[in-house]
Amino acid sequence: MSSSPALSARGGRLALLVVVLCWVAVLFDGLDMFIYGSVLPHMLEQKALGITSGQAGDLGSYATFGMLVGALTAGTVADRIGRKKLMISCVALFSLASGLCAVANGVAVFGLGRTLAGVGLGGLLPTAISMVSDYAPRGRAALTIGLLMTAHHAGGILSAYVALWIVEPLGWRAAFSVCVVPVLFVPVLAKFLPESLSFLVAQGRGEEARELAGRYDVELPAAAGRPSGARWANLANLFRGREWIQTLLYWLASFGGLLLVYGVATWLPTLMRSEGYELGSALTFVVLFNLGGIVGMLVAGRASDRFGAPRISAIWFALTAAGVFLLSVHMPLTLTFVVVFLTGVFLNSAQTMIYATVSIGSVPANRATAVGWTSGMGRFGAVFGPWLGGQLLAANKGDWGFTAFALAGVASMVCIGIAALRTTRRPAADSPEQKLLSAH
């Protein structure tokens, strides 16, 4: 059934409202995530809280462990209580937790703050992805998700400038104090962010869904074929029939991808500082890496809508592995800048296209759970990556870190590549959910 121009215009405005609000929330997510890596060289130089390189890696893993918990629980909770409430809670949590880091008087309190922040950070991202997927224009889901994820890397760029402008004159605590500011965005989300229509329909809240759809003049989504049931029903659905193979491939690919993303994000400025660059120069690598991420999200999203997210993700991981390995080779500064930028282009969007693949291929009622658990399983890699980088740096084997991260990229390429082949070879008689996945 075709929509009238007026309905399409107003529906487009609703989609824009959702994307803008989620984009700002994810911007703050990126700021809070990357700020630790950006201020870490200063903290190590000043021996802040008495931390060593090994402890710094552990602290990086605390945040990603919190993200693991947040991602694993957020999908199931969002499918039960609503994505809007969960997003608001996550923004409030990671903002206030940064305040705890700012006033920490020891490693233990600082680690607790980073862990709590990680819970909020891990819960926000899959929830925001699921939210924008609900409102994405037809045939533009991957591009919309890619656009959303540019905010994460804009937050990374912002973290570099916060570190550059604030840390030197005011100290590392001031940088974490800045990360408390996003709590002021909570009332904005509460007032303007609509609830997911597909969530309302899946929960049997038809009247509320019709009222919201009427207010914005958009079509009501069809009810999911399977109503929300027992606590673990959504998770169990990921393993029905032969879906368990696809699910495990996505989880393994996400593990390697996030090991790579958070290993590089945590240690890139410190490794470059150890190579003799000043703090300002080392932070330039963070800016270039995240600028590459923004470009990559837009390019990968458009390419994925055209050629399929699994295929693009596999190609991007192959190019990422090559770029990360090159960082272990001493090159002229200009060439190093280029390699860091291109690595950012491919690395960050390769992981995001895993989420796009899972989100596009999931039924609306199960989408947050599918994306959340894929992200959550990947968080094991996110925990391992910063720890591994810290151990290698403490052993004066920093160059081996780039090699290890490159191997993780190769492993993710293999897993998502196999998933892409299985998707392509799906029989036409598959279920509606499987047909939707094979179409992407």
Q: What is the spatial distance between Cα 418 and Cα 310, in angstroms, rounded to a whole number?
A: 9
**122-141 average pLDDT score:** 77
Q: What is the spatial distance between Cα 125 and Cα 152, in angstroms, rounded to a whole number?
A: 9
Asked which of 67-76, 209-218, 279-288, 421-430 is least confident by mean pLDDT, the reply is 421-430
Q: Which of 175-184, 255-264, 302-311 has the highest mean pLDDT?
A: 175-184
pTM, entire model: 0.70
Mean pLDDT value across the chain: 78
- For residues 277 and 286, the answer to whether their CB atoms sit within 8 Å is no
Q: What pLDDT score does 408 carry?
A: 87
Ordered by start, the domain boundaries in the chain are: 8-438
pLDDT band at 326 (very low <50, low <70, confident <90, very high): confident
Give yes or no for residue 147 having a pLDDT over 60.
Answer: yes
Give yes or no for residue 425 having a pLDDT over 60.
Answer: no
Residue among 213, 296, 214, 224 nearest 261 (CA): 296
Give yes or no for residue 439 having a pLDDT over 50.
Answer: no
pLDDT band at 156 (very low <50, low <70, confident <90, very high): confident
Residue 54 phi, psi (nearest 5): -65, -45
Which amino acid, residue 331? M
Would you put residue 15 in left (φ > 0), alpha (ψ -120 to 50) or beta? alpha
Residue among 217, 150, 196, 216 nearest 366 (CA): 196
Give yes or no for residue 289 having a pLDDT over 90.
Answer: no
List, for residues 87-123, the tens digit of each pLDDT value: 999 999 999 999 999 999 989 999 999 999 999 988 8
- State in words which class domain 8-438 has: mainly alpha
Which helix (H) or strand (E) element contains residue 102?
helix 83-102
Asked which of 92-96, 169-173, 310-314 is least confident by mean pLDDT, the reply is 310-314
Which helix (H) or strand (E) element contains residue 323?
helix 309-326
Token digits of residue 245: 């193979």
